[in-house]
């Protein structure tokens, strides 16, 4: 496409896709060319048919998202030059106030985008869409997705490990009891994956939101909960962002923050519980290497899983969180049982996320 290999950069870092940046003729802009990695486990609920189609529909409504250009009959996203917010401030570190203000402006823009404003084909069926304002119904559909597409779908390989860590079908009933009972809020557009690596700061200091492939329409407070969970702000800044979010969305869509202070904690608990099932699979697979098991990485992996389980103990109803030694033993046992199964099962590469 370029006619000159020197105009191509990549592959870029990233789990979901193999991505290259191609400079277009004239050198005025660049585009991303990417292909999904076929061997990767995907733990994501996708609501729009094509990200490029969605981005085209968003251009009149969202200030700074990538353009989509036609290159040889292919719709490709323009590449945003700059550095990710994660490069500038690692998770756990304070985010510059100028970036925080622009993030809040983005929330204000997205909450104004309603389903009737988007000319982009949705891939989810009608039965998977909650009625506008039914925040409980929206969250229930997310729980069902984790229950069916993450837990049940992967149970043939991971059931023994799930059970050893105290996770079972009953976990989802306990989770529902803990998190459902939300106030109703009018639905809007959600980015649903707004973390530091999906926020680009350009040379002029402007913040751009990229990677909209997990976008959905639903409860705007869920977008805040996902953002806070993924960003890992310092505690005082997290609170200021939450309060700023309320002001921004109420200014742009009155009523969108209804009951936010009461409902934010259960939504954050859902995010913690949701991550348990995906992270158990990811961590277990990360220890498997060609021809063996990475025992040197086992203590750190078990420590990580224990922290994840402890954070989600309350919403999942875990009476006792397994010790690191117990988690290590469970991981070793899972690996040995998997390896000794007749015609050892094919296990894909770990990646993906919410």
* E-strand stretches of the chain: 8-9, 17-23, 30-36, 68-71, 74-78, 83-84, 188-190, 199-201, 207-209, 216-218, 288-289, 292-293
Tens of pLDDT, residue by residue over 265-318, are 999 999 999 999 999 999 999 999 776 899 999 999 999 999 999 999 999 999
- Residue 88 inside a domain? The answer is yes
The stretch 40-60 carries a mean pLDDT of 86
Give the model's confidence band at 39: pLDDT under 50 very low, under 70 low, under 90 confident, else very high: low
The answer to whether 200 and 83 are in contact (CB under 8 A) is: yes
Phi, psi of 88 (to 5 degrees): -80, -35
The strand pairing partners of 288, in sequence order, are 293
Q: Classify strands 74-78 and 83-84 as parallel, antiparallel or unpaired.
A: unpaired
- Out of 55-64, 303-312, 340-349, which region has the weakest mean confidence (pLDDT)? 340-349
Q: Give, in order, the Cα–Cα distances in Å from 139 to each of 80, 101, 124, 218.
A: 33, 28, 15, 9
Could you tell me which residue, 19 or 229, shows the higher pLDDT? 229
Task: Extract the tokens encoding 254.
Answer: 């009155």
Q: What pLDDT shows up at residue 339?
A: 78
Could you tell me which residue, 126 or 190, shows the higher pLDDT? 190
| DSSP one-letter code for 317 | T
pLDDT(352) > 70: no
How many CA atoms, within 13 angstroms, populate the side-chain half-sphere of residue 182?
32
Phi, psi of 137 (to 5 degrees): -65, -35
The boundaries of the domain holding residue 109 are 81-340
H/E stretch holding 264 reads helix 260-286
The stretch 211-226 carries a mean pLDDT of 96
Q: What pLDDT shows up at residue 341?
A: 57
Give the model's confidence band at 320: pLDDT under 50 very low, under 70 low, under 90 confident, else very high: very high
- Out of 11-15, 140-144, 217-221, which region has the weakest mean confidence (pLDDT)? 11-15
Rounded to the nearest integer, the mean pLDDT of the chain is 90
Q: What pLDDT shows up at residue 2?
A: 60
- Out of 65-69, 233-237, 294-298, 338-342, which region has the weakest mean confidence (pLDDT)? 338-342
Buried b (16+ CB within 10 A) or exposed e, 76-85: bbbbbebebb
- Residue 249 inside a domain? The answer is yes
Q: Which residue has the tokens 């789990």?
A: 15
pLDDT(53) > 70: yes
Give the model's confidence band at 123: pLDDT under 50 very low, under 70 low, under 90 confident, else very high: confident
Is 255 exposed, middle or buried, given 0-12, 13-18 or 19+ CB atoms closer than 10 A?
A: exposed
The strand pairing partners of 199, in sequence order, are 209
- Residue 143 inside a domain? The answer is yes
- Residue 182 inside a domain? The answer is yes
The answer to whether 11 and 19 are in contact (CB under 8 A) is: yes
Q: Classify strands 288-289 and 292-293 as parallel, antiparallel or unpaired.
A: antiparallel
- Residue 100 inside a domain? The answer is yes
pLDDT(16) > 90: no
Q: What pLDDT shows up at residue 291?
A: 67
Percent of the chain with pLDDT over 70: 91
pLDDT(343) > 50: no
Q: What pLDDT shows up at residue 15?
A: 57
How many structural domains comprise the chain?
1
- Residue 12 inside a domain? The answer is no
Q: What pLDDT shows up at residue 344?
A: 47
Phi, psi of 71 (to 5 degrees): -125, 105
Q: Classify strands 68-71 and 17-23 as parallel, antiparallel or unpaired.
A: unpaired
* CATH value at residue 108: 3.90.1200.10
- Residue 8 inside a domain? The answer is no
- Residue 277 inside a domain? The answer is yes
The stretch 97-109 carries a mean pLDDT of 98
Could you tell me which residue, 246 or 341, shows the higher pLDDT? 246
Give the model's confidence band at 119: pLDDT under 50 very low, under 70 low, under 90 confident, else very high: confident
pLDDT(350) > 60: no
Q: What pLDDT shows up at residue 116?
A: 83
Phi, psi of 17 (to 5 degrees): -130, 155
């Amino acid at each position: 496409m370029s006619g000159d290999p020197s105009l191509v950069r990549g592959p870029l870092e990233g789990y979901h896709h193999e991505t290259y940046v191609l400079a277009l003729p004239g050198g005025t802009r660049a585009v991303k060319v990417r292909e999904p990695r076929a061997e990767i486990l995907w733990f994501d609920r996708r609501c729009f048919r094509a990200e490029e189609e969605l981005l085209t529909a968003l251009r009149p409504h969202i200030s700074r998202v990538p353009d989509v250009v036609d290159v040889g009959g292919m719709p490709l996203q323009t590449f945003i030059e700059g550095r990710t917010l994660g490069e500038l401030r690692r998770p756990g570190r304070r985010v510059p106030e100028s970036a925080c203000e622009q993030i809040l402006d983005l929330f204000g823009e997205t909450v104004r985008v309603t389903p009737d404003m988007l000319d982009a084909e949705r891939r989810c069926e009608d039965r998977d869409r909650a009625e506008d304002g039914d925040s409980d119904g929206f969250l229930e559909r997310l729980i069902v997705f984790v229950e069916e597409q993450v837990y049940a779908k992967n149970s043939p390989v991971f059931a023994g490990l799930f059970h050893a860590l105290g996770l079972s079908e009953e976990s989802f009933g306990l989770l529902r009891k803990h998190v459902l009972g939300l106030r109703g809020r009018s639905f809007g557009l959600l980015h649903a994956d707004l973390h530091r690596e999906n926020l680009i700061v350009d040379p002029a200091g402007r913040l751009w939101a990229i990677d909209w492939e997990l976008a959905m329409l639903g409860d705007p407070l869920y977008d805040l909960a996902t953002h806070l969970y993924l960003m890992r702000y310092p505690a005082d800044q997290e609170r200021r962002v939450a309060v700023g979010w309320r002001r921004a969305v109420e200014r742009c869509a009155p009523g969108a923050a209804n009951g936010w202070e009461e409902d934010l904690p259960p939504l954050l608990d859902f995010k913690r519980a949701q991550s348990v099932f995906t992270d158990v699979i990811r961590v277990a697979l990360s220890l498997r290497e060609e021809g063996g098991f990475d025992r040197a990485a086992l203590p750190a992996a078990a420590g990580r899983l224990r922290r994840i389980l402890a954070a989600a103990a309350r919403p999942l109803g875990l009476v006792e969180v397994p010790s690191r030694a117990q988690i290590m033993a469970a991981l070793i046992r899972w690996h040995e049982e998997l390896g000794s199964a007749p015609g050892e099962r094919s296990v894909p590469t770990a990646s993906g996320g919410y």
